[in-house]
Amino acid sequence: MDLWPWLSAALLLLLLLVQLSRSAKFYAKISLYCALCLGVSTVASVICLLRHGGRTVENMRIISWFVRSFKYLYGLRFEVHGLEKLEADQPCVIISNHQSILDMMGLMETLPKRCVQIAKRELLFLGPVGLIMYLGGVFFINRQHSSTAVTVMAEVGDRMVRENVPIIPVVYSSFSSFYNPETKLFTSGTIKVEVLDAIPTSGLTVADVPRLMDTCHRDMRSTFFRVSKMPQENGASGGLQALPAQ
């Protein structure tokens, strides 16, 4: 039995659904995004192993090059302001707002050299994706064991005040105008990225860290609504990701 006519008909039907159905188009793009992540992670892992021989933060330059190419396929533009603030040759802690699985593309647009990232441990077991993150020097924490996560963040806080490491907030505007899982919206769009002024930690103690983070969150929240052109009572700025940069 010749299966080719059936496969052709199924493909044509899929293409028709993608064109006519907003939900089909949304899930097709999400599926493609996941497939790209898996495929690119596999290829990038081989290149990283051949180039650097194993786990090193230097591999992030290779990973970043691959991920930044995704935006062309999805019709996304990034308008970055204040990028020069991340080019200072000194240790710093970068924090950014979290919104969706698309955050990775925005992160790679601003990622400075030799930036050590912190991620949840579950990502380590995502096959090629976990491998490439490991090779890129990502530090994994087990969020289910709160004591481990708290210890890691406490070490980051201690280093901030011990070595006078400044905090640099990075804010990404809302994705809601082009990406919304609830309404199955996924089109092209523009993400505005603003790098805020460094917040010094000189003279502070570990006890001052919670208050310091509250200040960062307020500044980021205000910036988020401003760059997203949203009233502050209608939205959320998302969680914060801590990225200690060496």
Whether the Cβ atoms of residue 80 and residue 196 lie closer than 8 Å to each other? no
Cα 79 to its chain centre, rounded Å, is 16
The candidate with the shortest Cα–Cα distance to 238, out of 121, 79, 100, 80, is 100
b or e along 158-178 (b: 16 or more beta carbons within 10 Å of the residue's beta carbon)?
eebbeeebbbbbbbbbbbbeb
Classify residue 24: in a domain, yes or no: no
Does residue 12 belong to any structural domain of this protein? no
Structural domain of residue 177, as residue ranges? 29-245
* Residue 13 domain-assigned (yes or no): no
The answer to whether the CB of 150 falls within 8 A of the CB of 142 is: no
Residue 159 domain flag: yes
Structural tokens at position 99: 């919104």
Q: How much is the pTM?
A: 0.78
In a domain, 5, yes or no: no
Q: Is residue 8 part of a domain?
A: no
The answer to whether residue 2 is domain-embedded is: no
Q: How many domains does the chain have?
A: 1
pLDDT in tens, the chain (246 residues): 465 676 666 666 666 666 667 888 888 889 889 989 999 999 999 999 999 999 998 999 999 999 999 999 899 999 999 999 888 777 788 888 888 888 889 889 988 887 878 888 888 898 999 999 999 988 887 766 655 556 666 666 666 666 668 888 999 999 999 999 999 999 999 999 999 998 887 777 777 778 888 888 899 999 999 999 887 754 444 554 544 444
CA-closest candidate to residue 162, choices 199, 210, 206? 206
